[in-house]
Amino acid sequence: MGIDLPLIWAVIILFGIMMYVIMDGFDLGIGILFPFFPRKEDRDIMMNTVAPVWDGNETWLVLGGAGLLAAFPTAYGIVLSAFYLPIILMLIGLVFRGVAFEFRFKASERRRHWWDKAFIGGSALATFAQGVTLGAYIGGIEVREGSYSGGAFDWLTPFSVFTGVALLAAYALLGSTWLVMKTEGELLARMRVVARRAAWAVASAIAVISIWTPLSDPRIAERWFSLPNLFYFAPVPALVALFLYLLMRTVGRDAHAAPFVCALALVFLGYTGLGISLWPNVIPPATSIWDAAAPAQSMGFALVGALLIIPVILMYTAWGYYVFRGKVRSGSGYH
């Protein structure tokens, strides 16, 4: 029995995207939360909690995109053709966010507000574009004779706009719970309130998406509600309810790391639910990972490099977070 290279690469790409959503999600969430914390001191602390690690988080986005190109070039071409505009908007947002991150600390008092606005706008734009792309991807891509055959704005639908807004709430939840773990005093108390509200928004979004997707696609409805799948997948919504309860319970107490762990679990479970709905299609609704796979020789060659580099990324990421662990106080800076 041969090695199933498309399956291995699908797992690698899914892992890379999940790591990006989790790790870049909370620093994008900090930018989304910026408008609600106008004091310079609060904003400095918020940015300093991620200053040493934020740019390394985007490594996972590069890994996911490069993996898709290496292992599923047909899917790469079709997906980029279908979502060219939102992906460009996402990259523009990430550029604005990254530049603002570096220049804000060097700007004069009179001009700092422009970089704050760039940080807010870049974070919100990148997040919304990612959510819109996700929603359009779930809705399916029109393919004919191996090429994208839809229009330039087919990605813009009520569902994709909703998922864009939902991702704003999800990243705000990650950002607020990260700051619960990394801050103290008045800022910590205010973050607990924000985290509780964001948690309810995320729970509502998960509920709406869980109803909307099976109603709009009979194949997804059959995947979730036919027997015995109903029993196999029932733990996912049950765990969502459990971690939402734990999040609400811990965020109102003197817990610090627990709310962030619960928020990560909620995002991971939402990601798992979407994976269950779409698997094994790399181009919804009907192109599987095996149909879109590159030649075995190409996938095997690229896999050697991936298996060498992924442990390195994991090690330096873990080391970075370990070195900069603990609370960030006023006056602490890494620029």
- Tens of pLDDT, residues 220-250: 888 888 888 888 888 999 999 999 999 999 9
Q: Judge whether residue 335 has pLDDT over 50.
A: no
225: domain range?
5-324
- Domain assignment of residue 142, yes or no: yes
Residues 243, 272: contact at Cβ < 8 Å? no
pLDDT tens-place string over residues 121-131: 999 999 999 99
Report whether 181 contacts 46 (CB < 8 A).
no
Cβ count within 10 A of residue 254? 7
List CB contacts of 60: < 8 A, sequence separation 6 or more. Answer: 16, 17, 19, 20, 23, 24, 313
Q: Which two tokens stand for residue 311?
A: 């442990």
**Which H or E run contains 143?**
strand 143-144
Could you tell me if residue 335 is inside a domain? no
| Domain assignment of residue 14, yes or no | yes
* Inside any domain, residue 209: yes
pLDDT score recorded for residue 311:
93
Confidence of residue 263 (pLDDT cuts 50, 70, 90): very high
Give residue for tokens 């639908």: 157
Residue 171: inside a domain? yes
Q: What is the percent of the chain with per-residue pLDDT over 70, rounded to a whole number? A: 98
**Whole-model pTM above 0.75?**
yes
Domain count, the chain: 1
pLDDT in tens, 132-166: 999 999 988 888 887 888 888 999 999 999 999 99
- Dump pLDDT digits (tens) for 6-46: 999 999 999 999 999 888 899 899 999 999 998 888 888 89
| Phi, psi for residue 140 in degrees, rounded to 5 | 105, 155
Over residues 72-98, the pLDDT tens digits come to 999 999 999 999 999 999 999 999 988
290: Cβ contacts below 8 Å, ≥ 6 apart = 6, 280
Q: How many CB atoms lie within 10 A of CB 151?
A: 10
What is the chain's length?
A: 335
What is the Cα–Cα distance from 46 to 36, expressed in whole angstroms? 12
In a domain, 50, yes or no: yes
Radius of gyration of the chain (CA): 20
pLDDT-derived band of residue 332, with 50, 70 and 90 as boundaries?
low
